[in-house]
Structure 1
Amino acid sequence: MLLPGRAAVCWVAAAGLLAVPACASFRPPDTVSAPPTAAPEAGAGALPITLPAALALTGANALDIQIADERTRAAAARLDRANALWLPNVNVGVDYFRHDGQIQDIVGTVFTTSRSSLLLGVGPQAVVSTADAVFGPLAARQLVRAAEADARAARNDTTLAVAVAYFNVQQARGEVAGAADALRRAEDLVARTEKLAPDLAPDLEVNRARAEAAHRRQAVEAAYERWQLSSSELTRLLRLRPGTLVEPAEEPSLTVALVEPGQPVEELIAVGLTHRPELAAYQAVVQAALTRARQEGKRPLYPTVAVRGVGSNTPGLAGGYFGGGINDDVQDFGPRFSVDIQAVWELQGLGFGNRAATRERAADSRRAVLELLRTQDAVAAEVTQAHAQLERSARRLAAAGDGVRNAVATAEKNLQGLGQTRRAGEQLVLVFRPQEAVAAVAALDQAYRDFYQAVGDHNRAQFRLYRALGHPAEALAALAGPR
């Protein structure tokens, strides 16, 4: 399914994600003559970067990945807290109590007294729903799995976004080169047309050539504008210095091969449904929802256990060193320990509340299953769409290569033969007229743009399909540059 043998670097993906070695390669299109890729206006301030370097920076700097990692840490912390539900709180402190005036004893007699007491001690305090303590960690563990899968999905999504932005830059840089080459030929056409005799090339032809050269200059400026705009998006994703003009080190005519075109889409859909981390996340969410549904159904059977220290006038301290007396005379200190332990079974709202909570959790679990099915449909659609883009862009790339070769040959022949004449009766006429050369230069510019658009679409489709299949983004960090 994936490219064998042609890769510059191969790797074995994480266990359970890929059954075969995954490889990636850079390759130039077959026998396509691309224009020079020099960028006169890039200057020393341009930042050269390779695709592997951009992918490596993705994991280091991307904010979406860091946010997803923090969500995973928060889910792990909630799991730790759920595992600690059985453990009581421990109170340590001092309790001083003073009473003056009327008070009632246990028999009911009211009398006047003044007394005080002092307790230095510790005590447990816990009110634990055993249903929460039993089922809570099970659900929290599934949510950790979901967060980890979401983090992998964030890495894949960010990697795709960086790859798309990178190929946008690469395409724009190629379009700059193509527009510059077309401009060079248009200016050569103007010079050749101006040298022709007036009876061979009237002023109309000179004006037409000059207008085409002006149009080519606008095309160069528009291409530079697209380069700068796409560079700003890539620097945003990689968190590089704003305003930096990014210049890919690879030739803009190079293509990236991750998945071989021609694979049956049904097989690719099966791979995507097996490996996409989004599906793993929803599966974990479904398991957590089912666990919560069981928790609410069994809650009336599980008691709430309460452990409280009652060794002082203020609950919380169970035992320690206690003393007291009349008025301010605090004496007779000695050890003391008092604790209250309860187990209470609760029917919320005479059982109707429990029943409603059970129905709510059951609905949550059914909704989670439906969301899983919706995500499966979305994954299948993404694989199908990326597969179609890859197949069609591969065909367009071959056709665009033919277009560039023929357009280059046509433009060169028109320019070289512009001064050649032949006799038509008593008059000399040009073998190649300037308007034909103008059309050839315009066709060459369009061929360049079609070609670099096809290259960019092919590379973007490769990464879209790679991401749609759920392959780990970390594996792309092993990509080597072209040799």
Structure 2
Amino acid sequence: MKILLFLLLTAVASAAPMHVSLPTVMKLAGANNDEIQQAQVKHTEMIAESKQAWQRFWPTLSLNAGYRGHEGRVQDIAGAVFDARKQQYTLGTAILVDWSPGDIYYSALAAKQKAIAAEELAEKTRRDILQESVARYYDLLATEADMAVIEDDLRLTEDYANQLSGAVTAGTAFRADLLRVKTQVSRAKISVRQGQEKRDLAAAALAETLRLAPDTALRPAKSDLVPVSLVSTHGVATLISQAHQNRPELRAASAANTAAVLESDRTRIAPIIPSVQAGYSLGGLGGGFAGEWGNFNDQQDFFLGLGWKIGPGGLFDRQRQKIAEAREQGIALQTSQVKAAIGREVVEAALKAQSSKDQLQINEEAVTAAEEMVQLAKDRQASQLGVVLEYLLAREELTRARQGRVKSVTDYNKAQHALKRAVGK
């Protein structure tokens, strides 16, 4: 991948057209797009939060050293007040535990599900960017194929104009016919220039998706455009079932729904489980009257306690439970919406793919008929049975049919890739 990026950057620096294939486009879209990287960063953040949630079970270890002095009035346990000058110093360590086991447990489980959802959303972003890059690559490929059709028409029309010019000079053809052909040549040149503009615009759109320099002159590695069959359009119910199993956004919605269920359980079950507080400290204490630094010896303290919280955030907090239940219901509804949207996407993609396939077949028939029409016009022209206008109209029909075939193949390939994405492949 590093070598590939180096070669691409070198090509950009030389200002020469960069020829890219579909596999190269897909690799660059997956490796260099900041939207994908942003989704991956979000996933990394959620993983860290999940790990941090489990770490709340760990005890706290502290090391401490301190000095404390006093001068003036002080009160003893019995209530007597008197003057005193004293000091003390401490050195030791302490282990503290402050657990709410139920709260920590359910929070950690919910955080894990949120991390899974973030991972699936990152995968969805990656697939969306790849689909966008594929569609824009085919748009670029279509402009190249369309220009090839127009340039071929221009070449044949110019050759015909040269032949007709000789016939006009010999007095066997009308000058009006020659001017009509020259007008057709000018139209073809304009179409070529318009095709170049469309190609450059398509290259700029693809460069945006690949996060390359906006002025990068992208060109397809191959100028041929052939139909590519990836997914069968038959059995839409089967395709929808596959999409429900494979689409990452549905898995993300399922994980988010599971997290919401755990949060709801947390509000109901966690307050019942008592919180635990415990501690143990070990060290030394020394000091005495002012100026005394001795009397240092070891000391130990420990404690253990259980407790329940009553009120907001604890037992009998009905409003907190209602909020969690409402969120759970909302996410469940969102999951249903995502599932319905995926089903619609699969149906639409299958219909477009089938329609594109049918249109492709019809365009093939149109091209065959137009080619025969051009040949008949040429034969009649040679035997002086036809006119120049008939040949030009036949050539125009053939060019239009060939351009229609380019569009049909492009639409079919884009529909096939869209259907592949829709079913989650």
**Fold equivalence (TM over 0.5):** yes
Q: Which residue number in structure 2 is paired with residue 237 of structure 1?
A: 209
Contact 1:201 1:434 in 2 (8 A): no
Matched, 1:332 2:295: yes
**Structure 1 residue corresponding to 2:114, chosen from 143, 148, 152:** 143
**Partners of 1:237 and 1:56 in 2: CA distance:** 12
Post-superposition Cα deviations, 1:348-369, rounded to whole Å, max 9, x if no partner, equal 2497872111111111111111
Which is worse superposed, 221-230 or 455-464? 221-230
Number of equivalences: 411
**Partners of 2:244 and 2:85 in 1: CA distance:** 77
Contact 2:19 2:220 in 1 (8 A): yes
Deviation at 1:45, TM superposition (A): 1.7
Q: Which residue number in structure 1 is paired with residue 397 of structure 2?
A: 443
Contact 1:171 1:252 in 2 (8 A): no
Q: Which residue number in structure 1 is paired with residue 59 of structure 2?
A: 88
Contact 2:15 2:216 in 1 (8 A): no
Higher relative contact order (CA 8 A, sep 6+): 1
Deviation at 1:467, TM superposition (A): 0.6
Q: Which residue number in structure 2 is paired with residue 294 of structure 1?
A: 265
Code of the residue aligned with 1:320 in structure 2: it is G
CA gap 1:100/1:219 in 2 versus in 1, 3 angstroms: farther
**Structure 2 residue corresponding to 1:77, chosen from 48, 61, 72:** 48
Matched, 1:432 2:403: no
Q: Which residue number in structure 2 is paired with residue 359 of structure 1?
A: 322
Code of the residue aligned with 1:282 in structure 2: it is A
Matched, 1:403 2:350: no
Q: Which residue number in structure 2 is paired with residue 465 of structure 1?
A: 419
Which is worse superposed, 339-348 or 217-226? 339-348
**Partners of 2:103 and 2:218 in 1: CA distance:** 54
CA gap 1:392/1:319 in 2 versus in 1, 3 angstroms: same
Q: Which residue number in structure 2 is paired with residue 313 of structure 1?
A: none
Unaligned runs of 5+ in 2: 1-13
For residues 314-393 of structure 1, the aligned pairs below 5 Å read 318-349=281-312, 354-393=317-356
CA gap 1:329/1:391 in 2 versus in 1, 3 angstroms: same
Deviation at 1:201, TM superposition (A): 5.5
CA gap 1:206/1:99 in 2 versus in 1, 3 angstroms: farther
Q: Which residue number in structure 1 is paired with residue 168 of structure 2?
A: 197
Deviation at 1:382, TM superposition (A): 0.2
**Partners of 1:207 and 1:189 in 2: CA distance:** 12
Deviation at 1:222, TM superposition (A): 1.8
Deviation at 1:125, TM superposition (A): 3.6
Q: Secondary structure at the match of 1:142?
A: helix
What is the aligned-residue RMSD (CA, Å)?
Answer: 2.7
> Which structure has more helix as a fraction of its residues?
2
TM-score (norm 1): 0.77
Post-superposition Cα deviations, 1:225-246, rounded to whole Å, max 9, x if no partner, equal 2222222232333334543322
Q: Secondary structure at the match of 2:205?
A: helix
Matched, 1:455 2:409: yes
**Partners of 1:175 and 1:350 in 2: CA distance:** 67
Q: Which residue number in structure 2 is paired with residue 474 of structure 1?
A: none
Q: Which residue number in structure 1 is paired with residue 9 of structure 2?
A: none
Q: Which residue number in structure 2 is paired with residue 210 of structure 1?
A: 182
CA gap 1:331/1:432 in 2 versus in 1, 3 angstroms: farther
Deviation at 1:209, TM superposition (A): 2.6
Q: Which residue number in structure 2 is paired with residue 120 of structure 1?
A: 91
**Partners of 1:408 and 1:162 in 2: CA distance:** 35
Deviation at 1:62, TM superposition (A): 2.9
**Partners of 1:412 and 1:92 in 2: CA distance:** 97
Deviation at 1:413, TM superposition (A): 5.2
- Among the aligned pairs, what percent are the same residue? 25
**Structure 1 residue corresponding to 2:191, chosen from 219, 232, 244:** 219
Deviation at 1:203, TM superposition (A): 4.9
**Partners of 2:191 and 2:142 in 1: CA distance:** 14
Q: Secondary structure at the match of 2:420?
A: helix
Unaligned runs of 5+ in 1: 1-42, 310-317, 422-430, 472-483
Deviation at 1:418, TM superposition (A): 4.4
**Partners of 1:106 and 1:440 in 2: CA distance:** 116
Q: Secondary structure at the match of 1:255?
A: coil
Matched, 1:254 2:202: no
CA gap 1:351/1:122 in 2 versus in 1, 3 angstroms: closer
**Structure 2 residue corresponding to 1:284, chosen from 241, 252, 255:** 255
Code of the residue aligned with 1:224 in structure 2: it is Q
Q: Secondary structure at the match of 2:295?
A: strand
Contact 1:50 1:249 in 2 (8 A): yes
CA gap 1:111/1:401 in 2 versus in 1, 3 angstroms: farther
Code of the residue aligned with 1:218 in structure 2: it is I
Contact 1:192 1:418 in 2 (8 A): no
Code of the residue aligned with 1:433 in structure 2: it is V
Matched, 1:56 2:51: no
